[in-house]
Amino acid sequence: MADQRWDVVVVGAGNAAFCAALAAREKGAKVLMLERAPQDLMGGNSRFTAGAFRCVYDGVDDLTAIMPDLTPDEIARSDFGTYTSDQFFDDMFRVTQFRTDGELCDRLVGRSRDAMRWLHAKGMKFAPIWGRQAYKIDNKFKFWGGLTVEAWGGGPGLVDQHLKLAAKQGIEIRYGVRAVSLIYDGHVVSGLRVKANGKMEEVATRSIVLACGGFESNAEMRTRYLGPGWELAKVRGTPYNTGDGIRMALEIGASSFGNWSGCHAVGWDYNAPEFGDLAVGDNFQKHSYPWGIMVNATGRRFVDEGADFRNYTYAKYGRVILNQPNNFAWQVFDKKIIPMLRDEYRIKRVTKQSANTIEELAQKLEGVDPQGFVDEIKKYNAAVKKDVPFNPNIKDGRCTVGLPINKSNWANTIDEPPFEAYQVGCGISFTFGGVRIDPDTGQVIDGDMNPIPGLYAAGELVGGIFYFNYPGGTGLMSGTVFGRIAGHGAARQGNA
């Protein structure tokens, strides 16, 4: 690898990395992608996602621009609504408690629609999220929560499409190559040292885009930055996102930025493996909790399951579950809700209990105080405002009254057998802390607030975008927007 000089080298092979590579290539750069994983496990966390993209759309015309295969019948039986820039900004500022960096957020939201059209023009195919983000009411699918579009084939389909687009553009990908350090003379980054086939090598290049994920798969870094107990979390995705890109950048003086003690973490099957399983994909998640309740080892509820749509709570409730006694919870549903459960509840590898009475279920919930659970169900059922109709498409105001932790919406009584319960722990998706970048070029900024020539970044390892929480589908959108920005920026330097 040392004998060939590239214009742009992209470290990583997930969505952000591919977007950076495509963007650099369209500017004429000669691009190499380096992927740490072997070929059969490539794709980073993108392969483990559901493939959803949160983007601005002002009506059906914006959707047909990226999904031209939508039929007149599909359009007629769908209420797509709109998701305006103002709504996207409101969601970003609300869920991050107004911490998101204003300029980064401005680029994320303001360029989201154009980024989707750009990917579509490259050949990426999208589809409405019929199954997870729409409920059929009066024979019409109504979409909710501002999340409407996904890549064909979900996360695996997204990565497979990216591979084809990269091959079509003549972008070379090398697998089993781990970036170890940057070659930096104090002024400009001119390459990197890598380990490939058990040997150290150097790769010369005019510019580098780091797009190799956060540190969620590094138990030591999780515990150091997120806090005690985080070594106990399961990892939703790839085992290869161990913070290498962040570490390499910090070693040459990059400015650290963002919510280093924060992460995207969800309710994840308690007996899931340490890292994600491509055969199961995203299906260890358990995200129908807004329609039921969650209890901890004491048998008590510990969170407002109906505080908001799943899109706006799921990424922070994993942390809440991790902080419960013995780091688990049980999600509980009855006959009314069981048919509404998402497909992930029906997979074979699931930690589940069923019973025909609450008392019987109480004895089956491993690790739970049975009497505390029975008492909690009685108090919860008595507190539900039964005169308010249940409506899963809106914040329906069907709440509880008088409980230590009230449920704000979708409070269904749990009183019709059969009953089902699912045990969940914490599954970490990605970390929020990372490096500081110029929002218009993607160039990494150093500790003196100056750009580092030759170094760019995109994806999970960019800090400052998410704090505490995250609106669903924004990770892939961020990777696309800032991958494209970084790729263009790197190509300009690479061709200079």
Q: Dmax of the chain from CA atoms? A: 74
Secondary structure (DSSP) of 67-79: -TT--HHHHHTEE
Q: How confident is the model at residue 145 (pLDDT cuts 50, 70, 90)?
A: confident
What CATH number labels 266-427? 3.90.700.10
Q: What was the pLDDT predicted at 496?
A: 59
Q: Are the beta carbons of 24 and 7 closer than 8 angstroms?
A: yes
Q: For 5-215+432-494, give the CATH class.
A: alpha beta
CA dist 163 and 176 (Å) reads 16
| Tens digit of each residue's pLDDT (9 = 90 or more) over 46-55 | 999 999 999 9
Q: Are the beta carbons of 321 and 362 closer than 8 angstroms?
A: no
Percent with pLDDT over 90 in the chain: 95
Beta strands in 300-360 (DSSP E): 329-333, 352-355
Give the mean model confidence (pLDDT) for residues 479-483.
98
The residues, any chain, with a CB within 8 Å of residue 361's CB and separated by 6 or more, are 332, 353, 354, 355, 373, 419, 421
Q: What was the pLDDT predicted at 144?
A: 83
Secondary structure (DSSP) of 126-183: EEE-HHHHEEEETTEEEE-TT--EEETTHHHHHHHHHHHHHHHTT-EEEESEEEEEEE
H/E element holding 25? helix 15-26
Q: How confident is the model at residue 187 (pLDDT cuts 50, 70, 90)?
A: very high
Q: What was the pLDDT predicted at 494?
A: 61
| Tens digit of each residue's pLDDT (9 = 90 or more) over 429-464 | 999 999 999 999 999 999 999 999 999 999 999 999
CA dist 223 and 3 (Å) reads 40
Map out the domains of the chain as residue ranges. 5-215+432-494, 266-427
Give the mean model confidence (pLDDT) for residues 350-376.
98
Q: 3-state DSSP: the chain helix, strand, coil percent, rounded to 5?
A: 35, 25, 40
- pTM for the full predicted model: 0.94
- CA angle, 210 as apex, 96 and 226 as ends, to 5°? 40
